[in-house]
Structure 1
Amino acid sequence: MTKQLVIIGGGPGGYVAALKGAALGARVTLIEKENLGGTCLNWGCIPSKIMKNSADLLLKCLEADKMGIQIEGHVSADMTALMARKDKILEDQRKGIEGLMEANGISVLFGKGKIAGPGKVSVTDAAGEETIVDYDKLIIATGTKPLNVLDFPFDHTRVVSSNDILCLDRIPASMTIVGGGVIGCEFAFIFSALGCQVTVVEAMSRLLPLPSVDESCSKLLMREMKKRKIKVFCDTVVTKAEAGDAGVSVSLSVSPFTDNPKPKKLKTDTLESEIMAVCIGRTPLSEDLGLENIGLQTERGWIPANEFMETAADNVYAIGDILGPAKIMLAHVASHEGLVAAENALSDTGTKAVMAYNAVPGAIFTMPEVGTVGLSEEGAKAAGFEVETASVNFRVLGKAQAIG
């Protein structure tokens, strides 16, 4: 008998799970409330890399004389053209995923998916019409959205989210970025290269305060930001933001979250900029998902799953960013989790596929870029290993000097 596999969420976890499910002979329904491709394609990895590529090219043009190339005339970024190129690429990629779904016999329903009870999901489309879909196995891959602080006056013009920043129609003269994690640091370098005066405010004692990133990388990025005249305030939080016609006024305070026992006294307690971008992380999309209808509880909104991607509810699996920071929130991780979940949901071999997180590669697209794999030095020490470290300055290598 053919199994019915239903997947809520059409991101890199969900649509890969759908393809795997179809390959295993299931009748697959993929439910997506917005656009296929998820955060990675629509609001994250891809659009930010499109912008970074343009920023890199602009920097190369401005510094071309150092490479023996003379460029006459004024070189600058055209944000309208940049955004048009971005939108065209995203649309082409979405169509590509839609084509993959059609070619593999996967039914795609656009609308809001909600678990109606064991074995049933309701889908409400944009017109308000409801469809009930039965499932034998369910995979939840709803992902996340930008974490917004309600005290900030979000108007999506002066005070913007990490989604909004990908749709700006101009390059602001100045920008305050709240959050010095992956998203904040990537945007800081991109907009600085495009000609914006950038200030980064980070609550912890260093940039990229992640377990996977060695402190030496954070220090290097701090030096690079200073070279590019990007101002950085670590051990600092934004306590208030006021938006007006001229821009945003930001109030600063010493961070109560810092791990620095002796944070430096602030040189200023206010910042003025044309816009403020809030890049303080992501929050789970698990509200109004109907989890209570199958007795599935969350942990602060995140859905727990084991190494087989099984949740506490029978026949229900969870993959991708909805698992939260307890796992690894990367697109390629979500895709592999999707393969594991589909395999375990549909296979009758008696052997379960296992998701391993011990050697996951990651990349942070700052300038320069940061790459990670496996444990950091601190993580290895915490795990009880005797650690030896070695470092090589990339700048001394012939290849590095050749490419500038």
Structure 2
Amino acid sequence: MSNAYDVIIIGSGPGGYVTAIRSAQLGLKTAIVEREHLGGICLNWGCIPTKALLRSAEILDHANHAKAYGLTLNGTMTADVKDVVARSRGVSARLNGGVGFLMKKNKIDVIWGEAKLSKPGEIVVGKMTKPVVEPQNPVPKGVLGEGTYTAKHIIVATGARPRALPGIEPDGKLIWTYFEAMKPDFMPKSLVVMGSGAIGIEFASFYRSMGVDVTVVELMPNIMPVEDVEISTFARKQLEKRGLKIITEAKVSKVEKGANSITAHVETKDGKVQTITADRLISAVGVQGNIENLGLETLGVKTDRGCIVIDGYGKTNVPGLYAIGDVAGPPMLAHKAEHEGVICIEKIAGLPNVHPMDKAKIPGCTYCNPQVASVGLTEAKAKAEGREIRVGRYSFAANGKAIALGEDQGMIKTIFDKKTGELLGAHMVGAEVTELIQGFVVAMNLETTEEELMHTIFPHPTLSEMMKESVLDAYGRVLNA
């Protein structure tokens, strides 16, 4: 078998494997290099298994409030941590196998090993230096592995890993990253979560549902700092009602380790320090691109703040070399990586009308309880840009479906340009908003104004009706409030 390809992709996460499939669809001889397991972090240790954990937490929350629905459970509802984790890992295993099937279906060669750029258009694949994490998904013993491979186009899609703060480095026992937090061998009684981005808040929400005493420490004034302040504030109140303790404008300055516990020194902006002793600490202070040991320096690839610098089509400063996904910079989201990869490969293939990605139209979702979702400008950013705006709001408490579900705490907020009616941003907090946000993403991509949204018929009774009511509210025409 020839070791020469049209396209080689390094990394099989969402960006990598989707790009490989699109490459094969376009008739390009394609290979993908993977050092550990198909699907990358998202499928095996991120997006998918965390949602499985959160689903277990959601079921437990509903069971614990069964009386509110007129139901009585005979016996006590408890969570078996081993079974909860086993279900989560099983979901990942199923999808992992699915990616392997897609590679075969699309005649994409999978090269097992760790790739390094040796010169333009060439990689050397060495032994797999990382162990196979999932025993149920052993690395196939195929013919493709160590060796030298060439390609006209090489795409780096190596993803990212948890960021560590100096002096508070994760140790796998007392200080966890999302790897350990996703697969605990016991349920701690108390937990400190350092960082309140999507990863931190999702784990805080999960462990609180499991009955753990959780304290979240966030450096910024608001949790989920990238979100609209009004939405973030609402979410914080709901999380605190569930029993989470949240400390903002504070940092964990030091962690003392005991035999089976930690003591976090939490310093607030006024210089005061309090200590919190807990069974474990989760470090969720962001992620950083996997740019090491790739040979980037040898080729003179330009990087910035730990990520590979690219143009709007994934091209680096080195001809024939591209980068997509987390390793190419924020927002570090799986759906961004997938779309970025498709843009990159379609440009390589010479397709007409390939447009660079508009990062302002990338939705963000946080799957805590309550869920948070958004796209576009926040109210503060819109004002900072000097825009004259109209803002609409609608409460879950006025929506029949939300009340029937027993999920009447939430809101939808829309932001329009006052002069043109352009939808600038949409922000949501409440039940299933991660499934609703795409309606506004589509609207923004179609350059929809308030007029089209007002004339759109939304089904009744649904949560989606609140989207239209929020638009109507922005223009003083709200009907059901």
Q: Does 1:305 align with 2:305?
A: no
Partner of 2:434: none
Q: How far apart are the structure 1 equivalents of 2:8 and 2:342?
A: 14
Partner of 1:151: 167
Q: How far apart are the structure 2 equivalents of 1:130 and 1:66?
A: 60
Shift of 1:236: 0.6
Q: Which runs of 5+ in 2 are unaligned?
A: 131-144, 407-481
Contact 1:111 1:126 in 2 (8 A): yes
Partner of 2:221: 205
Partner of 2:262: 248
Partner of 1:219: 233
Q: Which amino acid aligns with 1:286?
A: I
Contact 1:153 1:243 in 2 (8 A): no
Partner of 1:392: 394
Q: Deviations over 1:247-282 (max 9, x none)?
A: 111112124xxxxxxx6x75x610010101100000
**Segment drifting more, 355-364 vs 233-242:** 355-364
Partner of 1:259: none
**Segment drifting more, 332-341 vs 244-253:** 244-253
Partner of 2:252: 238
Map 1:184-333 → 2, pairs under 5 A: 184-210=200-226, 213-255=227-269, 266=272, 269-325=274-330, 328-333=331-336
Q: Deviations over 1:300-331 (max 9, x none)?
A: 22111111121111011111011222xx2211
Shift of 1:3: 5.7
Q: Deviations over 1:88-120 (max 9, x none)?
A: 111111110001001111011121111011110
SS at structure 1 position matched to 2:392: coil
Flag the 1:155–1:308 CA change in 2: closer, same or farther, 3 A: closer
Q: How far apart are the structure 1 equivalents of 2:170 and 2:327?
A: 24
Shift of 1:127: 7.8
Q: Which amino acid aligns with 2:157?
A: A
Q: Deviations over 1:194-253 (max 9, x none)?
A: 11000000011110111xx10011111211122112111111111111121241111121
1:344 to 337, 344, 347: 347
**Segment drifting more, 351-360 vs 316-325:** 351-360
Q: How far apart are the structure 1 equivalents of 2:373 and 2:260?
A: 39
Q: Please list every run of at least 4 consecutive aligned residues from structure 1 whose deviation after the TM superposition is greater than 3 angstroms.
A: 127-130, 349-353
Scaled by the length of structure 1, what TM-score is found? 0.92
Q: How far apart are the structure 1 equivalents of 2:115 and 2:348?
A: 20
Q: How far apart are the structure 1 equivalents of 2:389 and 2:178?
A: 37
**Segment drifting more, 2-11 vs 54-63:** 2-11
Greater relative contact order (CA < 8 Å, ≥ 6 in sequence): 1
Q: How far apart are the structure 2 equivalents of 1:353 and 1:388?
A: 29
Contact 1:179 1:200 in 2 (8 A): yes
Contact 1:201 1:237 in 2 (8 A): yes
Map 1:154-173 → 2, pairs under 5 A: 154-173=170-189
Q: How far apart are the structure 2 equivalents of 1:379 and 1:113?
A: 41
Shift of 1:352: 4.2
Scaled by the length of structure 2, what TM-score is found? 0.78
Q: Which amino acid aligns with 1:205?
A: P
Shift of 1:74: 1.2
1:67 to 50, 66, 69: 69
Contact 2:114 2:129 in 1 (8 A): no
Q: How far apart are the structure 2 equivalents of 1:184 and 1:144?
A: 16
Map 1:20-169 → 2, pairs under 5 A: 20-126=22-128, 130-152=146-168, 154-169=170-185
Q: Which amino acid aligns with 1:304?
A: V
**Segment drifting more, 383-392 vs 175-184:** 383-392
Contact 1:180 1:208 in 2 (8 A): yes
Q: How far apart are the structure 1 equivalents of 2:343 and 2:261?
A: 48
Contact 1:153 1:241 in 2 (8 A): no
Q: Which amino acid aligns with 1:226?
A: E
Q: Deviations over 1:352-385 (max 9, x none)?
A: 4422223222211111111111221122223332
Q: How far apart are the structure 2 equivalents of 1:392 and 1:116?
A: 56
Q: How far apart are the structure 1 equivalents of 2:170 and 2:374?
A: 34
**Segment drifting more, 34-43 vs 4-13:** 34-43
Map 1:361-380 → 2, pairs under 5 A: 361-380=363-382
Q: How far apart are the structure 1 equivalents of 2:68 and 2:44?
A: 36
